[in-house]
Structure 1
Amino acid sequence: MSSKTKIIVLHMKEIIYTVIFAALTILLILLLIFMFRPDNKEARQEPRYIPGVYTSDVTLNNTALEVEVTVDDSHINSIRFSNLDESVAAMYPLVQPAIEDIAEQIYDSQSLENIQYSSDSPYTSQLILQAVKDALEKARTS
């Protein structure tokens, strides 16, 4: 009787190394899949605004200023005064810095929540923010 039995000797150390290497390889592949998959947050996000330029009025004493807000589908792109001339800027020197400060905060967060008012002109900042809210209400999709 001729038996062809083969005996394979495996060292436990080699088995452990193979299992660890296989686990690390699977972990690396999963990590690469999650890191480099396409991110479609922009594609899934519904439009919040109708693209365009929207205006709202702010009245300081007898002077009417127009706040102009430019939006696209989901972002606030620009906030500025459209009719601020030199005489109004001279009469109200804190108006331009106030709108620039508010606009910067809105650009960063793309939200009107948690806006910090300037300590120099909190009431003017509130008026400007209310005008921006009014303009954005015009831009909202139904």
Structure 2
Amino acid sequence: MSNTKIVILRMKEIIYTAIFVGLGILLILLLLIMFHPGKSDTTKETPEEANKYTPGVYTTEVALGNTTANLEIVLDSDHVNHIKLVSLDDTVETMYPLLSPTVEDISKQLSNGVDVEHVVLSQESQYTQTLLLEAINQTLQKAELPN
């Protein structure tokens, strides 16, 4: 029987050692995950990246068939504040009823920090949104600060 006790004591030692090795590996993995530079550290803006645009109000014309609509874009130094249609004729509003809601939707997305390439297009006004996004993108390129 004394032989049996020695085997049990050795088995306990093996189990304790395996538990401590497992906890040690878990601790090392936890430390690596905690102190590994993630995406949040690499996306921090440097002062040079914070100033992307020349602040101001920019107006561009959007061709809609035989007429045009004026699109006003208000920019901060780092993002779009607001986009709206300026002096829109009743005839243009009647002919293109999705124009105003589409501009409002794009304005909300861009003022919330969404990039122009990542604006979500809706199915019912996809063509109108694409047309407006092209005009907005061209205006933002004109407003960008030179590197």
Bin for the TM-score computed over the shorter chain: 0.5 to 0.7
* 1:1-142 alignment, distance < 5 Å: 44=47, 45-142=49-146
User: Secondary structure of the residue that 1:141 maps to in structure 2?
Assistant: coil
TM-score norm. by structure 1 comes to 0.65
TM-score norm. by structure 2 comes to 0.63
Name which of structure 1's ranges 117-126 and 103-112 shifts more when overlaid on structure 2.
Answer: 103-112
Which structure 1 segments of 5+ residues have no match? 1-40
Give the conservation status (yes or no) of the 8 Å contact 1:98–1:118: no
C-alpha separation in 1, matches of 2:66 and 2:56: 28
Post-superposition offset of 1:100: 0.9
Count of residue pairs brought into register by the alignment: 102
Give the conservation status (yes or no) of the 8 Å contact 1:56–1:131: yes
Give the conservation status (yes or no) of the 8 Å contact 2:81–2:110: no
C-alpha separation in 1, matches of 2:74 and 2:130: 20
Post-superposition offset of 1:50: 0.5
Q: Percent identity?
A: 39
Deviations 1:66-100 (A, max 9, x none): 21111121121111111312221111111111111
Which structure 2 segments of 5+ residues have no match? 1-43
